Amino acid sequence: MIKAVRGMKDILPPETSRWQHIETVARQVFACYGFQEIRLPLLERTELFSRSIGASTDIVEKEMYTFLDRHGESVTLRPEATASVVRAFIENRLDQGAEVKKYFTIGPMFRYERPQKGRYRQFHQINGEALGGEAPEVDAELILLLMDIFARLGLTEIALVINSLGCPLCRPAYLLELTALLARKGRDLCEDCQRRSTSNPLRVFDCKSKVCQEILTQVPTMADHLCDACVQHDERVRELLGRYEVPYRSNPRLVRGLDYYNRTAFEVVTTHLGAQDAVAGGGRYNGLIKELGGPDVPAVGFAIGEERLVALLSQQDEGLALPPLLYVAVLGAAAMDQGFDLVQTLRRRGVAADLDFGQRSLKAQLTMANRRGAAFVLILGDQELTAGEAPLKDMATGAQQVVSLTDLAAICAALQGKGV
Ligand code: AMP
């Protein structure tokens, strides 16, 4: 038996209906906020990611699916979407015009991480990106959009955590101070953090080691070193979140796993998913477009982890209501022919209808209808064909009514009562 590659999973029905629901809701919210869809290749030149995400991040150091194509060019399955959005923005000259360019994209990402619950090697994200806006209102709008998606999905058990990572004016001085402090702690830090403390000092805040965390409680944070402009930006974002009653928590130790963020950084976390507690993350990435050879355009974005969102929603409710199904039980070849015709006609009217092709007993077909969660079963045998009418059984109540086989409207009306 050939099995799926480790860390990659099939998404099967009925779970797929939840995915569709999430994506439909997200698309509706994006449309309300003026975000348009952008679809991007899954494969990009490797340097796009090493130059944007940062050479000394976990993703680039050890998690990328990188290989040489048949021409010897190094290509990588995208580990995240922002770099690709920026590449497309530059390549297609999408910077024309003064308005903020707002895009969303939905699709798979690939990271060679150690698979565990909530962490896969192929996973899916819903990304929102706003390019070309410096104003804190752009950050606020993006976060409000993100939280609207969760609210419309009825997700309650989540918390928004925000921080400011400073800017090229105030961050370098802080990083120098942090590096010096970490150097003094030296040997007490774990091996990873000793390395990070010179290559990428902010990342030490992400360390899971208790000893490092303890040391870090004594270390000043970026929040204490923000310049006036960063403070004002941050305050305005928070003010707007407050105005629309989006609760948030400040975490001055929140850093993101990618190098390109500045100013606003945020995560949406939950206590219901165990170790993998982040459902979404994002932030501002002002320098990235220029860094990748484009114009000096500021930007901000977020990524929702779809697997984790699906897991959270499945914990919260019973499952999604599917459109009510009419199941036609057919007894004999003539009934099969008529049943096929009826089902096909109903489907073309937008009704979910189905039948069994196995020439099975009525009992077996009713069991099948039950398994499929049918709202109604229409029972069709030779007798019914002669009479031109058949019993329509409501599977929830057991009640039966006789309907004319030519009166499709009556059948549709019965289903409508179930919410077609
Ligand atoms: P990041 O780009 O690392 O900030 O990730 C954004 C979101 O994607 C996270 O908050 C997670 O919900 C999700 N995510 C990241 N990595 C994985 C993974 N390996 N498996 C499943 N979801 C992931």
**Rounded to the nearest whole angstrom, what is the distance from the C-alpha of residue 226 to the centroid of ligand 1?**
28
Answer yes or no: do 21 and 54 share one domain: yes
Same domain, 232 and 139: yes
Residues 162 and 107 in one domain: yes
CA 300 – CA 283 distance, rounded (Å): 5
Atom 2 of ligand 1: nearest residue by CA position: 80
Q: Verify that 232 and 283 share a domain, yes or no.
A: yes
d(CA 229, CA 233): 6
Per-residue model confidence (pLDDT) at position 362: 95
Q: Which domain holds residue 381?
A: 326-417
C-alpha distances (whole Å) from 364 to each of 331, 367, 390, 394, 395 are: 11, 5, 19, 17, 15
Cβ 281 under 6 angstroms from ligand 1? yes
Copy the structure tokens of residue 192: 């990873």
Task: Report the amino acid identity of residue 412.
Answer: C
Q: Please, are residues 224 and 162 in contact by the beta-carbon 8 Å criterion?
A: no
- E-assigned strands of 93-241? 101-110, 122-131, 159-164
Backbone angles phi, psi at 29, to 5 degrees: -70, -45
Same domain, 236 and 99: yes
Residue 318 is predicted with a pLDDT of: 67
Q: Judge if 347 and 286 occupy the same domain.
A: no
Q: Residue 344 is encoded by which pair of tokens?
A: 């096909």
9 within a domain of the structure (yes/no): no
Residue 347 lies in a domain: yes
Does any ligand 1 atom lie closer than 6 A to the CB of residue 123? yes
Q: What is the pLDDT of residue 420?
A: 42
Q: Say yes or no: 192 and 308 in one domain.
A: no
* Averaged pLDDT in 10-residue chunks for the chain of 420 residues: 97 92 97 98 96 82 94 97 97 94 98 94 98 97 98 92 95 91 85 84 86 87 95 98 96 83 94 86 95 95 97 81 88 96 92 94 95 94 95 93 87 70
Quick check: is 3 in a domain? no
CATH at residue 342: 3.40.50.800
User: Is the same domain home to 154 and 21?
Assistant: yes
Helices (H), 33-170: 46-52, 58, 82-91, 136-152
Phi and psi, residue 268, nearest 5°: -110, 120
Question: Does one domain contain both 79 and 215?
Answer: no
267 CA closest ligand 1 atom index: 10
Residues near 337 by beta carbon (within 8 Å), at least 6 away in sequence: none
Instruction: Decide which of 281, 316, 351 is a domain's last residue.
Output: 316
Final residue before a domain boundary, out of 258, 288, 316: 316
Q: How many domains does the chain have?
A: 3
3-state helix, strand, coil in the chain (%, to 5): 40, 20, 35
Q: Of 267, 282, 316, which residue is a domain's last?
A: 316
What one-character DSSP code corresponds to residue 261? -
> Do 277 and 399 sit in the same domain of this protein?
no
